[in-house]
Amino acid sequence: MKTEMTKTDMDSGRDMRSGPSPELSRVVVPLLRGVVYQEEDPGRWNLLLKLEAGVRDYVAVLGLELILDRAEGYAFLRSRPDDGGEAPSPRLIARRRLSYPVSLLLALLRKKLAEFDAAGGDTRLILSRDEVVELVRIFLPEGSNEAKLIDQVDATLNKIAALGFVRRLRGQADMIEVRRIIKAFIDAQWLADFDERLAGYRQLLAGEETGDDHG
């Protein structure tokens, strides 16, 4: 059957015969590398909105789907869920197993963002390192070494920043902004079970203190 390229395909920046257009590549390549933020590159963001249909079609061939939040101003790619009918396709974007400290701090920052949004006002949640330390402190043994605690928090923040969930403010190394993309990974249902999850974290901590293996 002969396939003809429609005007819609051309407008979306996708040429079925010759591959992605240069414009389409300008948004697909950054998406394959990580998150695209409106605030960081308004020009690329506007191009993504213009070519959204073409981007969705193109990444679908790779087994990916585009997650785009216009209100929050971010977009990223994730593997499409397997439908169970056929053998699962290879994953282009690998899943990451998060450590306990990273998982805990992500949970606490997500809850902090929910409280921040409920209070209204500014759209950017900015916290000092000391504020983050206080969030974590209650989950650590009493009398923990302060300098060691700060180092641990810094190391965990660096890992979370590498994942794209927070960023350190330029010229203010002890200040971080919680990126709103965290809402896409820790959803409302997850938050609804937050207290139960924290109870599990406390049990894990208690096990570590007593030397029990809860693997």
Write the pLDDT tens digit of every residue in 140-179: 766 667 888 888 899 999 999 988 889 999 888 789 999 9
User: What six digits make up the tokens of 55?
Assistant: 């981007």
- CATH no. for 7-79: 1.10.10
Distance separating alpha carbons of residues 197 and 201, to the nearest angstrom: 6
Does domain 100-210 fall under CATH 1.10.3470? My reply is no
Residue 101 has pLDDT above 70, yes or no: yes
CA distance 160 to 106: 8
pLDDT value of position 55 = 94
Q: CA dist 65 to 9, 157, 197, Å? A: 18, 28, 29
More confident residue, 163 or 2: 163
d(CA 140, CA 173): 24
Question: Taking a C-beta distance cutoff of 8 angstroms, is the pair 32, 66 a contact?
Answer: no
Same topology, domains 7-79 and 100-210? Answer is yes
pLDDT at 210: 58
How much is the pLDDT for 51? 94
> C-alpha angle 100/160/103, rounded to 5°?
25
What would the mean pLDDT of 107-121 be, rounded to a whole number? 87
pLDDT score at 63: 86
Regarding pTM above 0.75, the answer is: no
For residue 201, give the amino acid letter: Y
- pLDDT at residue 49 is higher than 50: yes
What residue spans define the domains of the chain?
Answer: 7-79, 100-210
Separation CA 190–CA 42 (nearest Å): 31
The rounded distance, in Å, linking the Cα atoms of 136 and 95 is 25
Residue with tokens 């697909």: 28
